């Protein structure tokens, strides 16, 4: 029993001695922190642990005097703002003493765990005018060196559209830079990374933006369209290789159609397949080959309506085979769009032939426009506008009733001429019509009863 009691006493003595030693040590450290700053204490990012207020006030002006803020810019460019250039001065204004006063020397142990709480900033002053002058002189504001930020764009290739990533550029937001520089100076920071501090003007959209991805998908839908135009036995294929030139994207990634590009495409199509007014090689009833130009007969693509049709098809991403919308059509497609139903008028021979489906229906002599007074019947290929029974033809100084009236060139047409007893020959040279084609009653009647509106009328010398 005695031995156990002695052991307990010894242990108790050791514990008391250890505690007393630790207490003495703790009190000794506490006495040290009566005049010195806690561990982890900072003044404008400068570690002042274990220093007195007097030591801080003595050393800080020297630190401020040598202060330099390094600016890390895009493109590995670095610039500096020196404290001496902006009138930087140490001016604690009692803040350092206040920080020390708030540190209870007997609670120094907490500084080991909460050192971030023991700091003071904003103990310097600077000349704002000088600072702004320094900022304005930075090379990053040199207009020759500034690259504007650019939103993502699109590139069209054999596999459709792909996104070309945005260009960050290096254009700085001066207001943000100023605020960050001031903040860094007041906190005593020596390095400022402009990128991480969001000092740059960035593109509104990136390659991962939903708007950009949605637009790419829509562009691919539009350019997947395929329109096969048919012109008789000929075809023209319109696909993405052309359509992509029509698609324009505005700054909000909305797709619009370039009407000029669409018009240019339809102009080329019209140039190839419109036939009105074009010169045609025509084999006459007498076996000769003549070139006939002018007139209003032939194909005319309706470009305005076809443009609307195209845009609607492209927006649906469709594949279709179609004819274009026409303002006017002819009997057949191709270079010889006259077909085999037509009226042929050889004005040199003063003779007319009418064919229907390749069969000669009737022929006969006629009298065309009087060439002696410049009323000669114009050459060209025209379409029959309409036909009318019992019409009265009126003009300057005349009013003539006719049984069969078939106009093909404004006020010029084929009609019977009961006032004539002879046709053909050279009558037209001095006693011709006002431009119309005068025909005997039976010839005019047969044509009238067989011809349809829109049939070609070929006039040549």
Q: What is the CATH number of the domain that holds 438?
A: 2.40.440.10
Find out whether 123 and 93 touch, Cβ atoms under 8 Å. yes
- Whether residue 379 is contained in a domain is answered as yes
Q: Between β-strands 319-322 and 226-231, what pairing exists: parallel, antiparallel or unpaired?
A: parallel
Give the model's pLDDT for residue 179.
Answer: 95
Co-location of 237 and 260 in the same domain: yes
**Cα 399–402–406 angle (5° rounding)?**
110
Could you read off the pLDDT of 210-226 as tens digits, one per residue? 999 999 999 999 999 99
Least confident of 2-16, 56-70, 229-243, 403-417: 2-16
Domain span at residue 302 reads 211-277+295-328
- Whether residue 62 is contained in a domain is answered as no
Co-location of 454 and 347 in the same domain: yes
d(CA 305, CA 309): 6
- Which DSSP category does 37 fall into? P
Co-location of 358 and 433 in the same domain: yes
Query: Considering the chain, what percentage of its residues have pLDDT values greater than 90?
Result: 72
Q: Answer whether 0.85 is exceeded by the pTM.
A: no
- Whether residue 61 is contained in a domain is answered as no
Nearest to 226 by CA among 323, 325, 310, 162: 310
Co-location of 362 and 254 in the same domain: no
Average pLDDT, rounded, for the chain: 89
Could you read off the pLDDT of 83-108 as tens digits, one per residue? 899 988 887 776 666 666 667 666 66
Nearest to 189 by CA among 297, 312, 345, 83: 83
Co-location of 313 and 350 in the same domain: no
- Whether residue 194 is contained in a domain is answered as no
Give mean pLDDT, residues 360-373.
Answer: 97
Co-location of 300 and 357 in the same domain: no
Going by pLDDT thresholds of 50, 70 and 90, the confidence category of residue 116 is low
Give mean pLDDT, residues 305-317.
Answer: 97
- Whether residue 389 is contained in a domain is answered as yes
Question: Which backbone phi and psi does 317 adopt, to 5 degrees?
Answer: 65, 35
Co-location of 390 and 422 in the same domain: yes
- Kind plus residue range of the DSSP H or E element containing 236: strand 234-238
Q: What is the DSSP string of 148-210?
A: --B--EEEEETTEEEEEPPB----B-HHHHHHHHHHHHHHT-SEEETTTTT-BPPPS--TT-H
- In sequence order, the 6+-apart residues with CB closer than 8 A to the CB of 377 are 345, 347, 368, 369, 412, 433, 435, 436, 437, 459
Residue 162 tokens read as 């792909």
Co-location of 359 and 448 in the same domain: yes
- Whether residue 410 is contained in a domain is answered as yes
CATH of the domain at 225: 3.10.20.800
Q: Where are the beta strands (DSSP E) in 31-76?
A: 42-43, 46-47, 68-72
- Whether residue 108 is contained in a domain is answered as no
Co-location of 300 and 382 in the same domain: no
- Kind plus residue range of the DSSP H or E element containing 77: none
Find out whether 43 and 189 touch, Cβ atoms under 8 Å. no
Co-location of 301 and 392 in the same domain: no
More confident of the two residues 62 and 443? 443
Active site residue ranges: 415, 436
Co-location of 376 and 413 in the same domain: yes
- In sequence order, the 6+-apart residues with CB closer than 8 A to the CB of 14 are none
Co-location of 301 and 353 in the same domain: no
- Whether residue 430 is contained in a domain is answered as yes
Q: How many domains does the chain have?
A: 3
């Amino acid at each position: 029993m005695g031995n156990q009691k002695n052991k307990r006493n010894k242990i108790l003595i050791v514990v008391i001695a250890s505690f007393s030693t630790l207490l003495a040590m703790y009190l000794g450290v506490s006495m040290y922190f009566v005049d010195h700053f806690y561990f982890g204490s900072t003044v404008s990012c400068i570690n002042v642990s274990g220093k007195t207020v007097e030591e801080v006030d003595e050393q800080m002006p020297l630190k401020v005097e040598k202060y330099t803020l390094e600016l890390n810019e895009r493109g590995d460019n670095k610039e500096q703002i020196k404290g001496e250039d902006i009138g930087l001065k140490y001016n604690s204004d009692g803040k350092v003493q206040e920080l020390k006063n708030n540190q209870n020397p007997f609670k120094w142990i907490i500084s080991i765990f909460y050192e971030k709480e023991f700091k003071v900033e904003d103990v310097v002053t600077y000349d704002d005018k000088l600072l702004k002058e320094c900022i304005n002189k930075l090379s990053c504001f040199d207009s020759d060196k500034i690259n504007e930020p650019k939103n993502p764009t699109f590139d069209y290739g054999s596999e459709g559209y792909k996104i070309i990533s945005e260009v960050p550029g290096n254009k700085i937001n001066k207001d943000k830079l100023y605020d960050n520089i001031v903040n860094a100076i007041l906190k005593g920071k020596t390095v400022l990374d402009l990128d991480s501090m969001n000092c740059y003007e960035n593109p509104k959209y990136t390659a991962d933006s939903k708007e950009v991805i949605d637009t790419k998908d829509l562009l691919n839908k539009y350019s997947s369209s395929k329109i096969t135009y048919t012109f008789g036995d000929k075809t023209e294929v319109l696909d993405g290789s052309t359509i992509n030139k029509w698609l324009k994207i505005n700054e909000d990634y909305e797709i619009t159609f370039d009407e000029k590009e669409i018009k240019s495409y339809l102009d080329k199509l019209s140039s190839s397949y419109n036939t009105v007014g074009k010169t045609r090689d025509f084999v006459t009833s007498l076996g000769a080959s003549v070139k006939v130009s002018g007139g209003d007969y032939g194909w005319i693509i309706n470009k305005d309506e076809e443009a609307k049709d195209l845009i609607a098809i492209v927006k649906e991403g469709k594949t279709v085979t179609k004819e274009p919308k026409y303002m006017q059509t002819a009997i057949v497609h191709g270079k010889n769009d006259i077909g085999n139903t037509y009226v042929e008028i050889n004005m040199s021979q003063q003779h007319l032939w009418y064919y229907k489906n390749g069969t000669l229906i009737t022929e006969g002599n006629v009298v065309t426009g009087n060439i002696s007074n410049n009323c000669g019947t114009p050459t060209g290929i025209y379409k029959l506008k309409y036909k009318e029974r019992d019409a009265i033809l009126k003009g300057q100084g005349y009013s003539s009733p006719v049984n069969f009236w078939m106009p093909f060139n404004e006020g010029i047409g084929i009609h019977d001429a009961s006032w004539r007893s002879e046709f053909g020959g050279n009558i037209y040279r001095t006693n011709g019509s006002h431009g119309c084609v005068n025909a005997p009653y039976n010839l005019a009647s047969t044509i009238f009863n067989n011809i349809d509106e829109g049939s070609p009328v070929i006039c040549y010398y």
